[in-house]
């Protein structure tokens, strides 16, 4: 445990600290920038973008070598990957706009074909100058541990730019993500905003490509926004929560991987993010699974309580075990099913409310009020005391339970 | 086109054709149901499946690896469905979460175990090795009639042919159900067709095709084979029957031209070495798709053509 805490506190050496900080920055930027792709229901476009970088990497290497330079120049490789990924984005957009193919088919086609071209180019490179291409395979799975100071600087600059643009243009992007027709009616150029959203993802992909690899950068763009969505209903907050989740999982993941041998950084970061996702899905308030279960149980209890009291009021026997237990726990019935004093009182109240509602429906033609009858909303929440008094006057005096 | 062709090119081309068709057939329905990306998810989880199978059995054998990959595909589909329903998450994002996590777990386990001396590595799973599936003992076309020589055909050929035939047979048997459930799920349920079971069966068929094919063509190129031929076919016709036939034609053509370009293409540019056949298959299928996007008779949405003419 100690090495992990050391790594977490940046005490595990220069390189580990550098990796943790760089990965944390990248995670934050990826989480924040991936948000709108997820809200636009296009999360998998990031997958296509990531795979579409491969031919660019290969082609850039070939061109740089053909021009007599060093094929492994990182700036050149990243430029190539950006160009080919942008081409992929444009092709997806073009196919969806110009043909009747659905978006998922366009995304999948670009992903598979670009990766295929990339593999062809990699085999070309293998044959043209053996040994020198060794670095290119790291684009598939990344090489986080080998991060240099300049890599961290590149991430810091690229990441903050992407986050800044995300923050700056959050309004048009939110609008397009939730209701593109309305956005178009408001005068926004939906196509341009869509391209911008994809461009942000592209920027993050290219920045992080060398570090986590093209398969795992997709995870950093998709998982944090999905996890963040559980915690809030506001798009503006999803961005920051998603960034925080991405940053935290990358930082913790990097620390974990530095604390023991044989723990590759990229996969550990992704699995940390996946763990945060699972926790979010299960335990988030309101949208989480546990919250939904509790909500359901409460609703169930209210329905059973009401049905039980109505049965008491009508002097019907209760055979449902759960209802009996529920009423007994509140002291409304004795274990043999006979109502107690307070049980009779509550039952009479519920039965009377039920008759009040009947009157209310006769008196009020306003469906907006009487439509709120669902059996569980207390009548006092819908009508004023005066109105209820009026219903009672029409009903006549209260009658004891069982005397109907 | 003699001995050398039969020895080195015949079996890879046949395996390529069978893989492409086996993937394209379920791909037709996945595209129409807007589930094309499930092929992406399946193909990514093949790697963890194989790794786990290797850990459990300790051997590199075909059957355990196929079972492991198929098991991983089923687990992935169930997880995706669970996240979709429990978390109320849209399908694309649910897939993205599941397959990236499972892929990461696969890479992690792979790095943890000492598999460096055995023949599974990430690149192989991603890229395939169609070229290595040669029929070494063949001595020409007459070997096709020689039982002893036929016995030395690569196992992958028989496996792929069987999978391809099984998928084709299943498609014919369930044709009417598949067709109705794909186009109008509500109507299918009203007729008493088990539409959700058909949907799950389709995904399982896709998983079987992907698992059988990944060994030969690699797990990413499989995605292109699932999507490109049917998508191109979709732009050629309005009838499902014709679409399936077109997709088989495109798949076959992609496999043949892909292999030929990969194997002989570089020689035309006076390069000595061949390039990746699997990658070239994906590239050719993409070329077909681009051509149909530009010139396919049914490329536009209904009503879009008139709009374009007006502009």
Domains of chain B: 3-220 (1.10.3470.10)
Residue B131 per-residue DSSP state: G
- B275: its two tokens: 């390039």
Q: Residue for token digits 């990944």? A: B214
* Residue B282 near residue B260, CB atoms below 8 Å: no
Residue contact B222–A112, C-beta within 8 A: yes
Spatial separation of the C-alpha atoms in residues A214 and B283, rounded to whole Å:
19
Predicted pLDDT at A381: 79
Spatial separation of the C-alpha atoms in residues B131 and B134, rounded to whole Å:
7
Predicted pLDDT at B310: 45
Predicted pLDDT at A5: 78
Predicted pLDDT at A3: 74
Residue contact B111–A122, C-beta within 8 A: no
Looking at per-residue confidence, does A207 or A128 come out higher? A207
> Binning pLDDT at 50, 70 and 90, where does residue A146 land?
low
Predicted pLDDT at B62: 73
Cα angle A121, B116, A111 (rounded to 5 degrees) comes to 35
Residue A318 per-residue DSSP state: P
For B29, which residue in chain A has the nearest alpha carbon?
A: A105
Cα angle A199, B231, A44 (rounded to 5 degrees) comes to 30
Spatial separation of the C-alpha atoms in residues B85 and B69, rounded to whole Å:
24
Q: Is A312 exposed, middle or buried (0-12, 13-18, 19+ CB in 10 A)?
A: buried
Chain B interface, mutation test: which of A55, A101, A128, A220, most B Cβ atoms within 10 Å? A101
The residues in B 158-187 lying below 8 A from A, measured between CB atoms, are: none
Specify whether the backbone of B274 is left (phi greater than 0), alpha (psi in -120 to 50) or beta: beta
Predicted pLDDT at B125: 66
Torsion over CA of A189, A192, A196 and A202, rounded to 10 degrees?
160
> Binning pLDDT at 50, 70 and 90, where does residue B121 land?
low
Spatial separation of the C-alpha atoms in residues A232 and A51, rounded to whole Å:
31
* Residue A210 near residue A219, CB atoms below 8 Å: no
* Residue A333 near residue A312, CB atoms below 8 Å: yes
Cα B4 to Cα B1, B140, B151, B252, B255: the distances in Å are 7, 7, 18, 22, 19
- B48: its two tokens: 């963890």
Which of A98, A104, A281 minimises the CB distance to B293?
A: A98
Q: Is B83 on the interface with A (CB under 8 A)?
A: yes
Spatial separation of the C-alpha atoms in residues B9 and B258, rounded to whole Å:
12
> Binning pLDDT at 50, 70 and 90, where does residue A404 land?
very low
Predicted pLDDT at B116: 54
Cα torsion B72, B73, B77, B83: sign: positive
Residue contact B36–A102, C-beta within 8 A: yes
Residue contact B283–A113, C-beta within 8 A: yes
Predicted pLDDT at A283: 92
Q: Where along chain A do its domains lie?
A: 2-282, 291-395
Residue contact A287–B88, C-beta within 8 A: yes
> Binning pLDDT at 50, 70 and 90, where does residue B237 land?
very high
Residue contact B272–A262, C-beta within 8 A: no
Cα A261 to Cα A108, A248, A265, B111: the distances in Å are 36, 21, 10, 10
Largest CA distance in chain B: 67
- A147: its two tokens: 């991060």
Residue contact A113–B224, C-beta within 8 A: yes
Residue contact A127–B273, C-beta within 8 A: yes
Q: Taking CB atoms and an 8 Å cut-off, how many pairs form between chains A and B?
A: 225
The stretch A166-188 carries a mean pLDDT of 89
Spatial separation of the C-alpha atoms in residues B254 and A110, rounded to whole Å:
16
> Binning pLDDT at 50, 70 and 90, where does residue A281 land?
very high
Cα torsion B254, B257, B263, B266: sign: negative
The stretch A256-268 carries a mean pLDDT of 83
Predicted pLDDT at B24: 95
**Which span out of A17-21, A385-389, B79-83 was modeled with the highest average pLDDT?**
B79-83
Q: Residue for token digits 């609008």? A: A175
Predicted pLDDT at A18: 83
Of A138-147, A325-334, B62-71, B135-144, minimum mean pLDDT range: A138-147
- A203: its two tokens: 């920027």
Mean pLDDT, chain B, as a whole number?
A: 84
* Residue B37 near residue A108, CB atoms below 8 Å: yes
Predicted pLDDT at A135: 65
Spatial separation of the C-alpha atoms in residues A126 and A124, rounded to whole Å:
5
Residue A113 has pLDDT above 90, yes or no: yes
Residue A375 per-residue DSSP state: S
Specify whether the backbone of A401 is left (phi greater than 0), alpha (psi in -120 to 50) or beta: beta
Helices (H), ranges, A230-264: 235-259
Residue contact B111–A267, C-beta within 8 A: yes
* Residue A355 near residue A395, CB atoms below 8 Å: yes
- A393: its two tokens: 């006057």
Which of B88, B231, B274 minimises the CB distance to A109?
A: B231
Looking at per-residue confidence, does A2 or A27 come out higher? A27
Residues 6+ apart with CB under 8 A from B100: A215, A216, A218, A219, A222, A223, A270, A274, B44
Residue B293 has pLDDT above 90, yes or no: yes
Which of A122, A223, A281 minimises the CB distance to B87?
A: A281
Predicted pLDDT at B230: 96
Residue contact A230–B262, C-beta within 8 A: no
Predicted pLDDT at B307: 47
- A346: its two tokens: 């509550």
**Which span out of A38-42, A69-73, A270-274 was modeled with the highest average pLDDT?**
A270-274
The stretch A274-303 carries a mean pLDDT of 92
pLDDT in tens, B183-201: 998 899 899 889 888 988 8
- B299: its two tokens: 């490329």
Tell me the three state secondary structure of residue B270.
Answer: coil
Which of B94, B101, B126 minimises the CB distance to A274?
A: B101
Spatial separation of the C-alpha atoms in residues A20 and A30, rounded to whole Å:
15
Which of B101, B234, B235 minimises the CB distance to A219?
A: B101
Q: Is A250 exposed, middle or buried (0-12, 13-18, 19+ CB in 10 A)?
A: buried
* Predicted complex ipTM exceeds 0.95: no
Q: For the domain bounded by A2-282, which CATH number is listed?
A: 1.10.3470.10
The stretch A202-224 carries a mean pLDDT of 86
Residue A342 has pLDDT above 90, yes or no: no
Q: Is B272 on the interface with A (CB under 8 A)?
A: yes
């Amino acid at each position: 445990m100690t090495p992990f805490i050391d790594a977490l506190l940046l005490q595990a050496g220069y390189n580990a600290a550098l990796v943790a900080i760089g990965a944390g920055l990248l995670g934050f930027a990826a989480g924040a920038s991936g948000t709108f792709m997820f809200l636009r229901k296009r999360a998998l476009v990031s997958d296509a973008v990531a795979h579409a970088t491969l031919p660019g990497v290969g082609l850039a290497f070939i061109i740089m070598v053909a021009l007599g330079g060093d094929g492994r120049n990182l700036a050149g490789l990243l430029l190539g990957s950006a160009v080919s990924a942008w081409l992929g984005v444009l092709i997806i957009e073009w196919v969806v706009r110009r043909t009747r193919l659905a978006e998922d088919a366009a995304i999948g086609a670009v992903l598979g074909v670009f990766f295929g071209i990339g593999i062809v180019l990699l085999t070309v490179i293998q044959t043209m100058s053996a040994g020198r291409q060794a670095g290119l395979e790291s684009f598939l799975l990344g090489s986080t541990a080998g991060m240099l100071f300049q890599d961290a600087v590149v991430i810091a600059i690229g990441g903050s730019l992407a986050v800044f643009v995300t923050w700056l243009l959050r309004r048009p992007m939110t609008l397009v993500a939730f209701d593109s027709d309305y956005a178009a009616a408001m005068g926004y150029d939906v196509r341009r905003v869509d391209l911008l959203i994809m461009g942000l993802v592209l920027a993050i992909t290219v920045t992080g490509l060398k570090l986590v690899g093209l398969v795992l950068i997709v995870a950093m763009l998709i998982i944090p926004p999905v996890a963040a969505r559980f915690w809030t209903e506001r798009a503006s907050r999803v961005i920051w929560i998603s960034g925080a989740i991405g940053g935290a999982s990358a930082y913790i993941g990097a620390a974990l991987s530095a604390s023991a041998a044989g723990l590759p950084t990229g996969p550990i970061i992704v699995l940390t993010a996946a763990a945060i996702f699972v926790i979010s899905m299960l335990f988030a308030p309101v949208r989480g699974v546990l919250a939904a279960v509790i909500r359901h149980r409460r609703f169930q209890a209210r329905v059973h309580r009401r049905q039980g009291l109505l049965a008491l009021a009508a002097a019907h026997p209760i055979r449902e075990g759960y209802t009996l237990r529920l009423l007994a726990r509140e002291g409304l019935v004795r274990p043999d099913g006979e109502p107690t004093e307070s049980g009779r009182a509550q039952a009479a109240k519920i039965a009377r409310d039920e008759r009040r509602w009947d009157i209310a429906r006769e008196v009020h033609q306003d469906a907006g009020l009487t439509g709120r009858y669902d059996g569980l909303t207390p009548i006092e929440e819908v009508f004023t005391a005066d109105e209820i008094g009026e219903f009672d006057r029409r009903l006549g005096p209260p009658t004891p339970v069982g005397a109907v | 086109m003699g001995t050398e062709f039969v020895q080195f090119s015949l079996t890879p081309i046949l395996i390529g054709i069978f893989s492409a068709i086996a993937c394209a057939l379920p791909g037709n329905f996945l595209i129409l149901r807007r589930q094309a990306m499930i092929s992406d998810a399946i193909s990514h989880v093949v790697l963890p499946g194989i790794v786990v199978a290797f850990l459990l059995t300790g051997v590199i054998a075909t059957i355990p690896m196929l079972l492991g990959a198929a098991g991983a595909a089923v687990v992935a589909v169930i997880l995706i469905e669970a996240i979709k329903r429990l978390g109320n998450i849209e399908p694309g994002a649910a897939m993205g979460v599941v397959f990236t996590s499972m892929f990461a777990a696969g890479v992690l386990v792979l790095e943890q175990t000492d598999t460096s001396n055995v023949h599974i590595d990430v690149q192989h799973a991603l890229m395939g090795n169609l070229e290595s599936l040669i029929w070494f003992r063949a001595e020409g076309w007459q070997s096709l009639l020689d039982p002893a020589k036929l016995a030395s055909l690569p196992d992958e050929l028989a496996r792929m042919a069987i999978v391809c035939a099984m998928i084709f047979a299943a498609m014919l048997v369930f044709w009417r159900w598949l067709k109705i459930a794909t186009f109008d799920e509500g109507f299918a349920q009203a007729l008493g067709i088990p539409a959700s079971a058909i949907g799950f069966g389709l995904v399982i068929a896709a998983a079987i095709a992907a698992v059988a094919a990944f060994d030969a063509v690699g797990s990413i190129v499989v995605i292109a084979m699932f999507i490109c031929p049917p998508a191109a076919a979709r732009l050629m016709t309005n009838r499902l029957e014709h679409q399936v036939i077109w997709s088989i034609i495109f798949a076959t053509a992609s496999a043949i031209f892909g292999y030929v370009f990969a194997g002989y293409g570089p020689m035309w540019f006076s390069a000595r070495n061949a390039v990746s056949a699997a990658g070239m298959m994906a590239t050719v299928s993409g070329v077909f798709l681009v051509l149909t996007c530009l010139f396919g008779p049914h490329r536009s949405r209904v009503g879009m053509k008139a709009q374009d003419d007006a502009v």
